Structure 1
Amino acid sequence: MSHAMTQDAPPAAPLNSLLSHRRMPRWAPAGIAVAAIALGSGIGAVAGLASKLQWCLIALVLFVALTYLITARVEGRRQAKDRVATSLVWACFVVAVVPLYSLLQTTISKGVKVLDGNFLGHSMGGVITTQPGGGVYHAIIGTLEQVALASLIAVPVGLLTAIYLVEYGRGKLAKVVTFFVDVMTGVPSIVAGLFILAFWIIILGFGYSGFAGALALSILMMPVVVRSTEEMLKLVPNELREASLALGVPKWRTIVKVVLPTSIGGILTGVMLAVARIAGETAPVLLLVFGNQLINNDPFNGAQSSLPYYVYEQYTNGNDASFDRAWAAALVLIAFVMILNLVARGIARWKAPKTGR
C-alpha cells in the first residue's frame, strides 16, 4: 500500500532548484558604471555642458537608476533596493573623493612650478614681488614656532580638562566646563584673534609677535583636544580601572599607567586633528603676527610670518610670480599637515598596548 502511494506521488523538486534564482554576473556593476559614464558623457556633450563635473553628476544619477532597473528586472525589487543602497554609498564616496582629488591635483600641478630647494631655503627679503625668486623659509619657521607654542599651551590644558571630565567630573562644575568647551568649539577664529588683540596687545601693551598668534591658536585648538581626548578616555573599559583599583593602585596612578596608555593612539590622533585645525588659520595671524618679509627666529619679539599668511600675502599681490609662490606655499602647508599625521600614526602604533595571545 505504502509502496503504491510512493509510486503515485509526484517527484520532489531538487533542492538546488528551490533555492536558486537568477543573479546578475559579478561584472555587472562595473558594466553598469561604464555604461553610465558613457551615457553621462554623451548627454553632457549633446547638451553643451562645459563642466566635466556636471557630466560626472549625470553619470552618477544614471548609475543608480540603471542599477535599480536592471537588478529589478533580473533579481527582483527586493535585491534591487539592496543594490541601490550599495550604489548610493559608492556614489557618495565618489562625490566626497572627487573634490579632494581635484584640490590635490590642482595644488600639486601649480605648486611644483617654483617648489625647489631655493624656494624652501630663502625668505622674501629684498625680492621684488612682481619678479620670480624668493622663498618660504621665514613662513615655515613662523608656522613651526607658532603651532609648537600653541600645542604646548593647549595640549596639557585640554588633556587635563578631559581627564577631569571623564574621571572626576561630577555635579555643576563639570556641566559648566562641558558647556564652555562646546561654546569654544564653535568660536570663529577671528573672534579668538580679536580677543588676544584686545587683551594681549591693547590692554597689556605687548607688541605683535608669533607668541600672540600662538595664544589665539591655542584657544582654537583647546576644545578640539578636550573633545577628542574625552571620547577616547570613555572608550577605555571600566574593567581595567576596576582591576587596577582592586589591586590597591591609587586613582591617579591608574589614570597614568592604565587609562592613558590604553587610549594614547586616539589621543594623539585627536591632537593631530587639532594641529591641522590651527595650521591653516589665517585670521589670527593677520591680526597678531602681522607678517614679515625677513626671517625672525624669535616668536616672542617682533612680527613674524606663517604659511597661511604667506599664501594670503602672495595672492593679494596679484601677479603671476606671486601666484606661483602662493600655490607652492599651499603645497608646503598640505605636506606639513600630512607629515604630522604620518608621525602621529607611527607614534600611536608604537605606543599602542600590546595584545597577548
Structure 2
Amino acid sequence: MNTIYLRRRIINVFNLTVALLTTLLALFFLAWLLWTLIKNGAPHINWSLFTQSTPPPGDSNGGLANAIVGSLMMTAVGVLLGSPLGVLAGTYLSEFGRESRLASVVRFVNDILLSAPSILIGVFVYAIIVVNVGHFSGWAGGIALTLIMIPVVVRTTEDMLSLVPDQMREAAAALGAPYWKVILTIVYRSASKGIMTGILLGLARISGETAPLLFTALNNQFMSLNMNDSIANLPVVIFQFAMSPYDDWQHLAWAGSLLITVTILLLNIIARLGLGGGSSKGY
C-alpha cells in the first residue's frame, strides 16, 4: 500500500514539476517578446506616428496614420458584419438546432473555419471578390476579417448560451412568453457578458491578421477613406517595412508592432477580466 502511495506521489510531483517548467518557459518567451517590442518600438512612439502617413524610402518624417485608419475601418467592417452573424448562428445551435443533423454539420464546418489558416480565407476572398471586381479593396479586406471572426463568435456564443439553465427558459415559457422573447430577455441577458467576451476575442483575433489582407486590401502609401480601393493597414505595413533595408521604415515597423500588440493584449485582458464570466448570476 505504501509503495503504491509513494509511486503516485512521485508521478504527481513529476507531472506538477513538468507543468510548472513548461509554464515558466512559455512565460519567459512571452516576456522576451514583449521586452523586445518595447525596447525597439517604444523609442519611436510619438505624436507624428498617429498624425502623419507612411513616408517614402529614406524620409525620417512620417508615421502610420493612414495604416491605423485603414485597419480601424476594415476591423469595424469585420466586427459589424461578423458579430451579428456569429451571435445568430450560435443562437441557432444552442436554442433551436441543438442535436439536429443540420446543427452537427454547422458545428463541423465552424470548427474547420476556426482552425483554417487565415491565408486560405484571403485566397478565397481574392478569388470570389478581387478577381471579379478587378482590383483590391478595403471591402474585400473587411469581408476576409468577417469570415475569420464569425467562427470565434459562433463558438463562444453557443457555449455561453448553453450555460444558461433550462429552468429559466421553462419558467419564462410557463408565464406565457413566446420563445423569441425568452431568448431576447432571459437567455441573452444572462449570457450577455460571455457573448461580449467572444466578440472581444474575435476582435483581438482579426486585429493582427496580415495574410488575408495581402490578397484583399493590399496597401496604400497615402491616407485614404475609400473602401472601394486598396487601403493601408497596420499588419501589411509592418510586414513590408520590417523587410525593407531602410532604418526609418524598420523603426516604424517596430512602433507599429508594439502598438498592435498592446492593443490586442488590452483586448484580451478586458475580455478575460472585465467581461469574463457569462454566467446567469443575478437573474
Relative to the length of structure 2, the TM-score reads 0.89
Structure 1 position 353, deviation (Å)? 6.0
Task: Give the CA deviation at 1:187.
Answer: 2.5
- Secondary structure of the structure 2 residue equivalent to 1:113: helix
Q: Identify which of structures 1 and 2 has the higher relative contact order when contacts are C-alpha pairs closer than 8 Å and 6+ apart.
A: 2
- What is aligned with 1:187? 116
Q: How many Å apart are 1:316 and its aligned residue?
A: 2.0
User: Cα distance, 1:355 vs. partner?
Assistant: 3.3
- Which of 231, 234, 242 aligns to 1:315? It is 242
Report SS of the residue matched to 1:317.
coil
Q: Pick from 6, 26, 37: which aligns with 1:96?
A: 26
2:51 paired with 1:121: yes
Tell me how far 1:132 sits from its aligned partner: 2.3
Is 1:129–1:317's contact at 8 Å kept on the other side of the alignment? no
Residue identity over aligned pairs, in percent, reads 34
Counterpart contact for 1:264–1:348, Cα < 8 Å: no
Letter in 1 for 2:111: D
Query: How much has 1:90 moved relative to structure 2?
Result: 2.0
Contact 1:146/1:211 (8 A) holds in 2 = yes
- 5 Å-filtered alignment, 1:88-237, equals 88-124=18-54, 127-169=55-97, 170-203=99-132, 205=133, 207-237=135-165
Aligned residue pairs, count: 278
8 Å contact kept, 2:130–2:137: no
Aligned residue identity for 2:39: S
In the alignment, what sits opposite 2:3?
none
Q: Does 1:286 align with 2:214?
A: yes
Structure 1: which amino acid aligns with 2:186? Answer: V
Structure 2 residue runs without a partner (length 5+)? 1-5
Q: 332-341 or 280-289, which moves further after superposition? A: 332-341
The 2-side partners of 1:197 and 1:157 are apart by 21
Give the Å deviation of 1:202.
Answer: 2.0
CA distance in 2, matches of 1:338, 1:266: 18
SS at match of 2:191: helix
What is aligned with 2:264? Answer: 337
**2:163 touches 2:279 (CA, 8 Å); kept in 1?**
no
Decide which moves more: 112-121 or 77-86: 77-86
1:173, CA displacement in angstroms?
2.0
CA separation in 1, counterparts of 2:135 and 2:187? 42
The code of the aligned residue for 1:335 comes to: V
Output the TM-score relative to the length of structure 1: 0.72
Instruction: Give the Cα–Cα distance (whole angstroms) in 2 for the partners of residues 146 and 346 of structure 1.
Output: 26
In the TM superposition, residue 133 of structure 1 has moved relative to its aligned partner by: 2.8
Q: Is the CA contact 1:311–1:329 (under 8 Å) kept in the aligned structure 2?
A: yes
Partner of 1:297: 225
Residues 318 and 83 of structure 1, relative CA distance in 2, 3 Å threshold: same
Q: Report deviation, 1:113.
A: 2.2
Rg comparison, structure with higher value: 1
User: For structure 1, which runs of at least 5 residues remain unmatched after alignment?
Assistant: 1-75
Q: Structure 1: how far apart are the matches of 2:271 and 2:108? A: 29
Distance of 1:262 and 1:109 partners within structure 2: 43
Q: Distance in 1 between matches of 2:85 and 2:128?
A: 20
Distance, in Å, in 2 between the alignment partners of 1:161 and 1:101 is 37
Q: 2: CA distance between counterparts of 1:114 and 1:146? A: 25
* Structure 1 residue 340, shift from structure 2 partner: 3.1
Deviation at 1:232, TM superposition (A): 1.2
**In structure 2, what residue type is equivalent to 1:194?**
V
RMSD over aligned Cα atoms: 2.4
Deviation of 1:258 after TM superposition, in Å, equals: 1.2
